Amino acid sequence: MSIPADYSPEEVELLIETPFAVGMAVMMAAESGLGALSELSALRRLILEPATPPAAGPLIRGLLDVLEARTRSDPKAGRALMNPFEGLPRAAMVPTALEKTAQALALLRRKATPAEVAAYGQWLLTIAEGVAQAAREGTVFGLGGRQVSEAEAAFLDRLAGLIRS
């Protein structure tokens, strides 16, 4: 089992930023209008309060502890970890999230156990799917629309492919 102390500060930042990047990329994949508030709420909850057992493991729990400590000691630094897209145009968010995911998984495959790699990947999928399902897309005054847009579904497929590879 690995813990954040087994990683460099830059590696820890990557492992913390990636779940936020994945969730935000889903949010930006399709216009949700007022549903963006539901998606943002789901993103925070799914990352900061992981309910599934794999996400409660020592590595992920340790990453969340590092995030909390950094946010407490330097709120600006904590916010920066939670917004990995600062200054990026919307069109760059999905490719950036997928690149961060590939980098994080490659890092974990080198330094963590297969169970930790699987748990981290499952955590990313849980976050992305939860955000995608948090609000209906394409509604008119709350009517109609789809639970998961085509753009969100395409991102979820690409994310799942990275995690399985």
Q: What is the pLDDT of residues 2-44, one digit of tens each?
A: 889 999 999 999 999 999 999 999 988 776 665 677 787 788 8
pLDDT band at 54 (very low <50, low <70, confident <90, very high): low
Give the global pTM. Answer: 0.86
CA 136 to chain centre: 19
* 149: confidence class by pLDDT, cuts 50, 70, 90: confident
Which of the residue ranges 38-52, 100-114, 137-151 would you say has the lowest mean pLDDT? 137-151
% the chain with pLDDT above 70: 85
Better pLDDT: 29 or 68: 68
Arithmetic mean of pLDDT over the chain: 85
Domain boundaries in the chain? 4-164
User: How far is it, in rounded angstroms, from Cα 121 to Cα 2?
Assistant: 15
The secondary structure element, H or E, covering residue 133 is none
